[in-house]
Structure 1
Amino acid sequence: MAKKFIPGDWVKIKRNDVRPKMEVLKYISKKEPIFGFVNNDTYLECVWYKNGERRSEVFHQDRLIKQVEKAKNT
């Protein structure tokens, strides 16, 4: 499966308005439980901040959607 994001991209979880936007840190290696092979291209570690506390979690790339930053008019 092709990588959909690069480190530094801003993403949100699809159909979830509760979670804040997150920054992609990196793709991680994860062993598939059923087939036993190591997957390097589909799981991402993302980081976000809540109440000043840094949090991170691993997500499958298909659960995420890229956030488009709007350009500021100056």
Structure 2
Amino acid sequence: MTRKFKSGDWVKLKGKALAPKMEVLKYITKKDSFFGLVDNNNYLECIWYKNGERISEVFHQNRLIKVTEPGGLYKI
């Protein structure tokens, strides 16, 4: 599977109206614990801020959609 995003892209979770706007940091290596397969092209680390706290989480790229609205993590 090919990579859909690049570092610095703005994304949201698909189908979640109130999902936070997140910034893509990087693709990460994820190992399947059952089969032992290594995946370098499907999981990415994203960050966002909530109440001034930086939150980081890993998502499969198919769960995300690119955001086209302007601005960064904070709306003015």
TM class by shorter-chain length? Answer: 0.7 to 0.9
**Is it true that 1:45 corresponds to 2:52 in the alignment?**
no
Worse overlay, 16-25 or 1-10:
16-25
- TM (norm. structure 2) is 0.86
CA distances 1:16-69 after superposition (whole Å, capped 9, x unpaired): 122210000000000123431110000000000001110010000000000013
What does residue 56 of structure 2 align with?
A: 56
RMSD between aligned residues: 1.1
Structure 1, unaligned stretches of length 5 or more? none
What does 1:18-37 align with in structure 2 at a 5 Å threshold? 18-37=18-37
Q: Extract unaligned runs of 5+ from structure 2.
A: 71-76
Percent identity, aligned pairs only, is 66
How many residue pairs get aligned? The number is 70
Larger Rg, first or second structure (1 or 2): 1
